[in-house]
Amino acid sequence: MTHSTGSVSACLPIHSDLDLVRARQQVRQMTAQLGFGLVEQTKLVTAASELARNALVHGGGGQMECTEVTGGGVRGLRLVFSDRGPGIADLDLALSDGYTSGEGLGMGLGGARRLVHEFRVDSRRGEGTTVTVTSWAAAPPRPREGR
Amino acid sequence: MSGAPTSPYEGHVPVLRLGGVLLVTLQGDLYDSAAEQLRQDIGRTVSDSAVGGVVIDLSGVEIVDSFMGRVLSDVAAMTRLLAAQTVVCGMRPAVAITLVELGLTLPGLRTALNAEEAMNLLGATVSALPRRGRREST
Amino acid sequence: MPEQQTADDRTGPAQEVALFLRERREQIAQRWADAAVFRTVFTVSRDEAVEAGRAVVEALAAVAATGRVEDSEADGFTVVREQLARTVRSRTRAGASTGQISAETDALRRPVTELLLDELAEAPADHVGECTTALAVLMGTLRLVMLETSTVAGEELINRQRLELLEIATPVIKLWEGIVAVPLIGTLDSARSQVVMETLLDAVVEQHARLAILDITGVPTVDSLVAQHLMKTVAAARLMGAECIVSGIRPAIAQTIVHLGIDLSSVLTRASLADALAYALQQQGARIVPRAVAAAESR
């Protein structure tokens, strides 16, 4: 699928639990505008909540960038979460279910991966972590030829 | 774009007491700190007074992430230790599908379709609890 | 080459064809209106078909004027592309095959060629040959443009039918107060499982159903992916406060499930839809008894 990336339409700081609420509302609003179904909206909002909280709790705060993308005629939303925290020591371990280094049920990273269509983690010890996720709105049904 | 379409709770979540049952109605998007506060409030109320059941109505909630999932299962486990039952009700389909996909099936949690059914479910067990004393049965 | 040439700059056979098409536009359009490809699509009035024919003649003339009679990407076609696509879609919906549409388009060539030959009755033979060749190539290009849109239209049709099928294939049946059932027929893939899950859970909310039955009698095979989807549906229903029963597990499927080592112990199963209904009714506090027994009991 060829991706054409639009410009970043929103960039939100993540430094408090108020910012988590803002991040969720931003993603909800954008997915609704892009024509995501209710279930796909909820999945991406939930994934954003997990990843934003990760950036806040483990990365000491960071930011979320939202970008509208287009691929194969389908519109989607790309979210990039970045922090300048300690990084993830063992990525495989962090992605496995039940692993947790903080509060929660240990579903943050691995769970978020199952809620989105594309998922990528870049992490360097001591430099921080960047998680990029993308989800697509299902192809909208073409309007019937009105004659 | 940063306007707030749904206003999140900034402080306490209202906890309503109906006879021997606590009714907690969640609405909109919850701050982590408000969820944390709720966990404590429910714990205190259940241990302080003769409460046999807790109903948490999620029909107004659009997302439950792992943090909120943890709060729900904590409340259930905690009330169980205090000999009370917790029933979560009114979860929307999209929320349920997302939770399952996330890997959270919350096996210890009792569930009901709506608040009324949850009260019925508790009504039977609450009135059967001897330590709560005799209750008028319907 | 995108050089802009007009009939005034150069007068090759293509440009002569362009002139001819413009001058005889009305006549050609009238003849085409009776051809299958226009007649069967523009059924409301003949004027409409003539109008459509005019637009196509105009486009062909524009293409011929640039001398690029063999170029299906020529700018001249742009203005009629949407109209041609609509024509093709309409024919496809009416059940015409690609070959048929191709033949119908080809049938447009004869009336124009006849008119051109009349026009050139006095011209030298080699000039007539050049002009008819240019026209033939141009008409061939039109056919190619039609076929290109036909392929796209076919894909669209398949996609739309696939979506419609997904919806049709997942009916929700209310069996009793508070009991709904979804009989599944055919193979379950990921996309369909998602639709089934959402349909079932929406029905649980709408019908206030405490019990939901997923009947898989019509599902040919159950692999680990399908089993996983079933388990997810059951788990999601439970979170909403409903109990989900899977019924219609045929012996062969039961064997496969055991053989694959799939653990369905978290899922409540029943052999048949009838068994599942009996269980669901019992959960609702209802019971079905033969009339004689009921009469005996009430005595």
Residue C296's pLDDT is 81
- Residues of chain A with Cβ-Cβ distance to C159 below 8 Å are 139
Token output for A47? 């994934």
ipTM: 0.83
Instruction: Report the distance separating Cα A121 and Cα A123, nearest Å.
Output: 6
| A88: pLDDT strictly greater than 70 | yes
Residue B126's pLDDT is 56
Low-confidence ranges of chain C (pLDDT < 70): 1-10, 153, 163-164, 166-169, 299
> For the packed helices C46-65 and C78-93, what is the interaxial angle rounded to 10 degrees?
140
What is each CA distance from A39 to A112, B59, B63, C197, in whole angstroms?
Answer: 14, 15, 10, 11
Burial C172-208 (b: 16+ CB within 10 A, else e): beebeebbbbbbbeeebeeebbbebbbbbbebbbebe
Q: Is C242 left (phi over 0), alpha (psi -120 to 50) or beta?
A: beta
pLDDT digits (tens, 9 = 90+) for A30-41: 999 998 999 999
CB pairs under 8 A between A and C: 11
Q: Does B93 touch chain C (CB under 8 A)?
A: yes
Q: Which amino acid is at B44?
A: R
Question: Which sequence spans correspond to the domains of chain B?
Answer: 15-112
Residue C218 CA, chain-centre distance (Å), reads 25
Residue C10's pLDDT is 55
| A117: pLDDT strictly greater than 50 | yes
A138 → chain C, closest CA residue: C191
Which contacts of A139-144 are long-range, i.e. CB under 8 A and separated by 24 or more positions?
A: A139/A73, A139/A74, A139/C159, A140/A35, A141/C160, A141/C163, A142/C156, A142/C160
| B9: pLDDT strictly greater than 80 | no
C162 → chain A, closest CA residue: A141
CATH number for the region C13-165 comes to 1.10.490
Quote the minimal CA–CA distance from A75 to chain C in Å.
Answer: 18
- Show Cβ contacts of residue C126 under 8 Å, excluding neighbours closer than 6 positions: none
- Residues of chain A with Cβ-Cβ distance to C89 below 8 Å are 145
Quote the minimal CA–CA distance from A72 to chain C in Å.
Answer: 14
- Show Cβ contacts of residue C248 under 8 Å, excluding neighbours closer than 6 positions: C183, C215, C216, C217, C218, C219, C271, C272, C273
Instruction: Report the distance separating Cα C218 and Cα C236, nearest Å.
Output: 23
Pick the CATH number of B15-112 from 3.30.420.40, 3.40.50.720, 3.30.750.24, 3.40.50.880: 3.30.750.24
pLDDT digits (tens, 9 = 90+) for C81-103: 878 888 888 887 788 888 888 88
Cβ of B29: how many Cβ atoms within 10 Å? Answer: 23
Identify from C197, C228, C239, C263 which residue to disrupt to test chain B contact, counting B C-beta atoms within 10 A and taking the largest count: C239
Instruction: Report the distance separating Cα C64 and Cα C281, nearest Å.
Output: 75
Nearest to A39 among C89, C163, C198 (CB): C198
C86 → chain A, closest CA residue: A145
- Residues of chain C with Cβ-Cβ distance to B106 below 8 Å are 239
pLDDT digits (tens, 9 = 90+) for C49-82: 888 889 899 989 988 988 888 888 888 888 888 7
> For the packed helices C13-23 and C125-168, what is the interaxial angle rounded to 10 degrees?
70
| Stretch (H or E) spanning C60 | helix C46-65
Q: Quickly state the pLDDT bin for B127 (edges 50, 70, 90).
A: low
Burial C140-163 (b: 16+ CB within 10 A, else e): bbbbbbbbbbbeebeeeeeeeeee
Instruction: Report the distance separating Cα C62 and Cα C77, nearest Å.
Output: 8
pLDDT digits (tens, 9 = 90+) for B57-104: 999 999 999 999 999 999 999 999 988 999 999 999 999 999 999 988
What is each CA distance from C262 to C228, C245, C253, in whole angstroms?
Answer: 9, 17, 11
The residue among B64, B51, B56 whose CA lies nearest residue B38 is B56
Q: Are B96 and C202 an interchain contact pair (Cβ–Cβ within 8 Å)?
A: no
Residue C274's pLDDT is 93
The residue among C123, C87, C90 whose CA lies nearest residue C108 is C87
Q: Quickly state the pLDDT bin for B107 (edges 50, 70, 90).
A: confident
How many domains is chain A partitioned into structurally?
1
Contact call for residues C73 and C144 (beta carbons, < 8 A): no
Quote the minimal CA–CA distance from A124 to chain C in Å.
Answer: 35
Which contacts of C88-94 are long-range, i.e. CB under 8 A and separated by 24 or more positions?
A: C88/C146, C88/C149, C88/C150, C88/C153, C89/A145, C89/C153, C89/C156, C89/C157, C90/A145, C90/C40, C90/C41, C91/C37, C91/C40, C91/C41, C92/C150, C92/C153, C92/C154, C92/C157, C93/C157, C94/C40
Q: Are C159 and A139 an interchain contact pair (Cβ–Cβ within 8 Å)?
A: yes
Identify from B55, B73, B100 which residue to disrupt to test chain C contact, counting C C-beta atoms within 10 A and taking the largest count: B100
Q: Does C93 touch chain A (CB under 8 A)?
A: no
Q: Does B117 touch chain C (CB under 8 A)?
A: yes
- Residues of chain A with Cβ-Cβ distance to B6 below 8 Å are 25
Nearest to B93 among C205, C210, C238 (CB): C205
- Residues of chain A with Cβ-Cβ distance to B77 below 8 Å are none
Q: Are B111 and C204 an interchain contact pair (Cβ–Cβ within 8 Å)?
A: no
B34 → chain A, closest CA residue: A17
Residue A31's pLDDT is 95
Q: Are B98 and A41 an interchain contact pair (Cβ–Cβ within 8 Å)?
A: no
Q: Quickly state the pLDDT bin for A99 (edges 50, 70, 90).
A: low
Q: Does B73 touch chain C (CB under 8 A)?
A: no
Nearest to B70 among A10, A24, A104 (CB): A104
Domain range for A118 is 3-136
Token output for C235? 């788990």
Q: Does C160 touch chain A (CB under 8 A)?
A: yes
- Residues of chain A with Cβ-Cβ distance to B98 below 8 Å are 39, 42-43, 46, 115
Q: Look-up: residue for tokens 């105009």?
A: C58
The residue among C162, C255, C244 whose CA lies nearest residue C211 is C244
Q: Are B93 and C198 an interchain contact pair (Cβ–Cβ within 8 Å)?
A: yes
Residue B138's pLDDT is 42
Q: Are B93 and C242 an interchain contact pair (Cβ–Cβ within 8 Å)?
A: no
Question: Which sequence spans correspond to the domains of chain C?
Answer: 13-165, 173-298
Instruction: Report the distance separating Cα C202 and Cα C182, nearest Å.
Output: 12
Tell me the H-state helices in A58-117: 91-95, 108-115
CATH of the domain at A118: 3.30.565.10
Q: Does B128 touch chain C (CB under 8 A)?
A: no
* The CATH number of domain C173-298 is 3.30.750.24: yes
Quote the minimal CA–CA distance from A145 to chain C in Å.
Answer: 7
Q: Look-up: residue for tokens 């943890």?
A: B70
- Show Cβ contacts of residue C55 under 8 Å, excluding neighbours closer than 6 positions: C79, C80, C83
| B132: pLDDT strictly greater than 50 | no
A39 found inside a domain: yes
Q: Are A103 and B101 an interchain contact pair (Cβ–Cβ within 8 Å)?
A: no
Q: Quickly state the pLDDT bin for A144 (edges 50, 70, 90).
A: very low
pLDDT digits (tens, 9 = 90+) for B21-50: 999 999 888 888 888 889 998 988 888 888
Phi and psi at residue C93, to the nearest 5°: -65, -35
The DSSP letter of residue C241 is T
> For the packed helices B93-102 and A108-115, what is the interaxial angle rounded to 10 degrees?
120
| A60: pLDDT strictly greater than 60 | yes
A47 found inside a domain: yes
